[in-house]
Amino acid sequence: MRLPTLIPLAIASIIHTATGAPAPTAPSSVITTTKITPSYWRATFSDPPFNIQGNAFFRDFYTLVDEITSDPNVKVVVFDSNSKYFFSTHVDLINTLDPDLYPGNPRYWDSITRLAKAPVLTVAAIRGLTYNAGAEIAAVLDVRFGSKEKAVLAQYEVGFGANPGGGGIELLSRLAGRSRALEVVIGADSIDAETAALYGWINRAIPDAQFEKFVDKFARRVAGWDHSAIAAAKNLINGRTGFPTADEQIESFNSFLKADAPGGLVDRRLKAMAAAGMQTNLNFEENFGREELKFVGNGPWNA
Amino acid sequence: MRLPTLIPLAIASIIHTATGAPAPTAPSSVITTTKITPSYWRATFSDPPFNIQGNAFFRDFYTLVDEITSDPNVKVVVFDSNSKYFFSTHVDLINTLDPDLYPGNPRYWDSITRLAKAPVLTVAAIRGLTYNAGAEIAAVLDVRFGSKEKAVLAQYEVGFGANPGGGGIELLSRLAGRSRALEVVIGADSIDAETAALYGWINRAIPDAQFEKFVDKFARRVAGWDHSAIAAAKNLINGRTGFPTADEQIESFNSFLKADAPGGLVDRRLKAMAAAGMQTNLNFEENFGREELKFVGNGPWNA
Amino acid sequence: MRLPTLIPLAIASIIHTATGAPAPTAPSSVITTTKITPSYWRATFSDPPFNIQGNAFFRDFYTLVDEITSDPNVKVVVFDSNSKYFFSTHVDLINTLDPDLYPGNPRYWDSITRLAKAPVLTVAAIRGLTYNAGAEIAAVLDVRFGSKEKAVLAQYEVGFGANPGGGGIELLSRLAGRSRALEVVIGADSIDAETAALYGWINRAIPDAQFEKFVDKFARRVAGWDHSAIAAAKNLINGRTGFPTADEQIESFNSFLKADAPGGLVDRRLKAMAAAGMQTNLNFEENFGREELKFVGNGPWNA
């Protein structure tokens, strides 16, 4: 647990526009949970259109992980989105992020690690653009299904001058291997569902017309099995394949923080991107990978 | 070698319907070997329609492994099936399994490890349903080709309350990675050939009309090379990629045995499944992944 | 660094037709470098039609690696070919190879290792046949894109009696895993672009009509990013995924040398293949995987 080391850096650099106001403590509901049965839950990212990961998102996420890891009945949780554009996108780069909530905090690494080890199968049902922290949350889940026509994944961080810092490098490297991780992260461009499936970033791409039925059938099968069998199988597969260590992920996070020093290039660039439409303009967010070209490099910007 | 530890558990739990009769010792021929040339053998699973892995199967398999690993001429062995429905299916869950033969016995781990390390390329030519122990035998072989239309792979064990115990978790995890192994094993559903190829579970899916010609051409190429070059290449690739250790595989097997305790849920469920058609009814075996839904969970069973 | 051990063997075995003449020291230009911008270079294999790797190739390659790893501006280097048939093929098996230049020399392992670790993204743009040492050079690069119609990869070494010795076994095993590496290396046959993409040997196969635009756009994106972000991302991904050690690669190389002893079977076979058209006849080189069948095995040769 490196909180004492990380917090000061994080306060200085992540919270670009910190107002000093206390973090909200009221209940929030940007992740809504539906218990279809006691064994089969849907967790829906519900902050359309962007599903940006701000304080409310992380508060809800940590609460949900606590619920999943302590409920004796739940066997499968499908994560989806109520936005027709995005599964989940980046962390809130404009508003204050509570130091106790933001990714990079030990609470984040602890939550995703517990989730990966829980005797519950977690499933990402991806039907929209999924990038940066959004792609990292998806990669944390056990299984990822993508709509062939609608799912798009990306790690755009190199495009604005940093590297993925929320575990994305560790998770993607394990799923896709060296050469494809290098392409995705350094190319910093959108990856369609079929390519993401080829790379192992998602399990498979399913035609959108069959998507919901496929996911629901899969989840109902899992929910119908014995909890002990699911737990034994997941425990054994975890033992054979591992999960990135917090230390590995913190190395990437610290590298991210170093790039994102206050007043530095990334900081100023993100502020300019915010002024240009980031987090407010749908077109900007949908074309994040192209829009950020305007703030780096030498053009032309029709690339 | 953990035989003393494993045997009592195995006797107690695997041999559900043990009659006390001695295991058969007569020669059997449920795996028939054809030496197309001294260098190119075909080993055919020949116990149609199910190719269930009982005493005769394991006796033949161990004999075949001994022959392959001691013959100085053989360079490539293609494993196929004379059943038009199945490549190979589960272990015999009804009749007595000789403790000296059943998987989980050190003889099993020793045989598959010697085969993986032998200076001979083994090839699974899969044109039917291949599941549970059958999928595990296929995964033990060096290379797997599947008919695009006819090959279907599965590990259905979670569906009746256990986990794959014959090395399947270890082999599949290496071939397909964490997320896809979790989907296959915990989803416990049929995986078509193209998806199995996407996941790396089989090398590739080949249109059935071209399948035999492709496999035969591949085997003849290998059989035509110098034995020393095949041996050197396999030895080096084995060194770079490893093979699951017996200890890893035994951990999964012991977890399987724990679920499958005599008189317990899995034991009773398998008996009920036997009464419903398992090992006797072709439709039951072909739809194993759906049939077992009727013995667990809450329905409806048309999922 | 095992030069003292390797050199004598290498002199004895690689340089089949050594004439005793000193290696050429004049500048060569079989790899031509075009600096499209200071950040975006193209390195073109320019010794058509075969792009065989002889003294000039290795001299140019080492020089290029020195330039890439010492230039503060370069961010991306695309390697392509000016031959319409080949990306890059085998090492020169007829003419004298300078012991200080040939693969297997510490200089080779050092150069490819520095390139893999450099804060620059290297890209193979493959539109032709790419085999043996050519496939090994491609696999050394960070990212590989292949023309769907024109890219073909192979490691044919087992076909003439040796094993891949230039790191190919190590690189391919990491990209494709055990079963597919065994198929590729021991099958010793041509692998089309889509299969190579399925196996992870190339990142993806792109329709040839879109190939150049795709690669150029990708390279321009990378060249437009901040150098520090590219460097941080590559450093982290390298840390998560590793790169074969020189010791691993030297083990394969020594195994290759052992097969290729002077006056031995491989030596005599390569001389016969040279007499039959290797390195001079386009049809022979384009059908290398079939032609070599005529010098081993038992036929028929229309396989």
Residue C28: its pLDDT value, please? Answer: 66
Q: Is C84 inside a domain boundary?
A: yes
Where residue A251 sits, what CATH number does that domain have?
3.90.226.10
Q: Is B284 inside a domain boundary?
A: yes
Q: Which residues pair with B105 in a beta bridge?
A: B103
CB pairs under 8 A between B and C: 109
pLDDT per residue as tens, chain A (303 positions): 222 233 333 333 333 333 444 444 445 699 999 999 999 999 999 999 999 999 999 999 999 999 999 999 999 999 999 999 999 999 999 998 998 888 888 999 999 999 999 999 999 999 999 999 999 999 999 999 999 999 999 999 999 999 999 999 999 999 999 999 999 999 999 999 999 999 999 999 999 999 999 999 999 999 999 999 999 999 999 999 999 999 999 999 999 999 988 889 999 999 999 999 999 999 999 999 999 999 986 665 554
Q: Is A302 inside a domain boundary?
A: no
Contact B221 C303 (CB under 8 A): yes
C163, C251, C265 ranked by CB distance to B233: nearest: C163
Q: What ipTM is given for this predicted complex? A: 0.92
Q: Is B56 inside a domain boundary?
A: yes
pLDDT in tens, C29-84: 999 999 999 999 999 999 999 999 999 999 999 999 999 999 999 999 999 999 99
Distance between A89 CA and the closest CA of chain B, angstroms? 21
Residue A104: its pLDDT value, please? Answer: 84
A226, A236, A240 ranked by CB distance to B161: nearest: A226
Q: Is A242 inside a domain boundary?
A: yes
Q: Which residue is listed with tokens 């006849």? A: C281
Q: Which chains touch B (3 or more CB pairs under 8 A)?
A: A, C
Residues of B with CB under 8 A from a CB of C: 37, 121, 142-144, 174-175, 197-198, 200, 203-204, 217-218, 220-226, 228-230, 232-234, 236-243
Burial state string for B64-79 with b = 16 or more CB within 10 A and e = fewer than 16: bbeebeebeebbbbbb
Distances in Å between the Cα of B2 and the Cα atoms of A53, A109, A232, B30, C15 are 51, 38, 21, 28, 52
Contact A203 B183 (CB under 8 A): yes
pLDDT in tens, C111-168: 999 999 999 999 999 999 999 999 999 999 999 999 999 999 999 999 999 999 999 9
Residue B299: its pLDDT value, please? Answer: 61
Domain total of chain C: 1
Ramachandran region, residue A226 (left: φ > 0; alpha: ψ -120 to 50; beta: rest): beta
CB A154 within 8 A of CB A190: yes
Closest CA to A163 of A61, A240, A46, A266: A266
Count of CB atoms within 10 A of residue B4's CB?
Answer: 7
3-class secondary-structure state, position C93 = coil
- Residue ranges making up the domain that contains B137: 3-295
Closest CA to B7 of B96, B128, B99, B125: B99
Contact C161 B220 (CB under 8 A): no
Q: Is C220 inside a domain boundary?
A: yes
Task: Give the strand pairing for C152-154 and C191-192.
Answer: antiparallel
Q: Is C303 inside a domain boundary?
A: no
CB pairs under 8 A between A and C: 109
Mean pLDDT score of chain C: 90
Q: How confident is the model at residue C266 (pLDDT cuts 50, 70, 90)?
A: very high
Contact A183 C143 (CB under 8 A): yes
Q: Is B144 inside a domain boundary?
A: yes
Mean pLDDT of C197-206: 98
Closest-CA residue of chain A to C177: A177
Q: Which residue is listed with tokens 């050469």? A: A179
Count how many residues are written for chain C.
Answer: 303
Q: Which residue is listed with tokens 């996407």? A: B198
> For residue C294, what are the contacts with CB-CB under 8 A and spacing of at least 6?
C276, C301
Mutate to test the interface with C, among A136, A172, A175, A178 (most CBs of C within 10 A): A178
- Using an 8 Å CB-CB cutoff, list chain A residues near C217: 303
Closest CA to B160 of B260, B80, B17, B89: B260
Residues of B with CB under 8 A from a CB of A: 157-159, 161-164, 169-170, 173-174, 177-183, 185-189, 195, 198-199, 244, 248, 251-252, 255, 258-259, 265, 293, 296-298, 303
Dihedral sign of CA atoms C69, C70, C72, C77 in order: negative
Distances in Å between the Cα of C160 and the Cα atoms of A161, A295, B38, B74, C104 are 49, 54, 20, 18, 19
pLDDT in tens, B233-247: 999 999 999 999 999
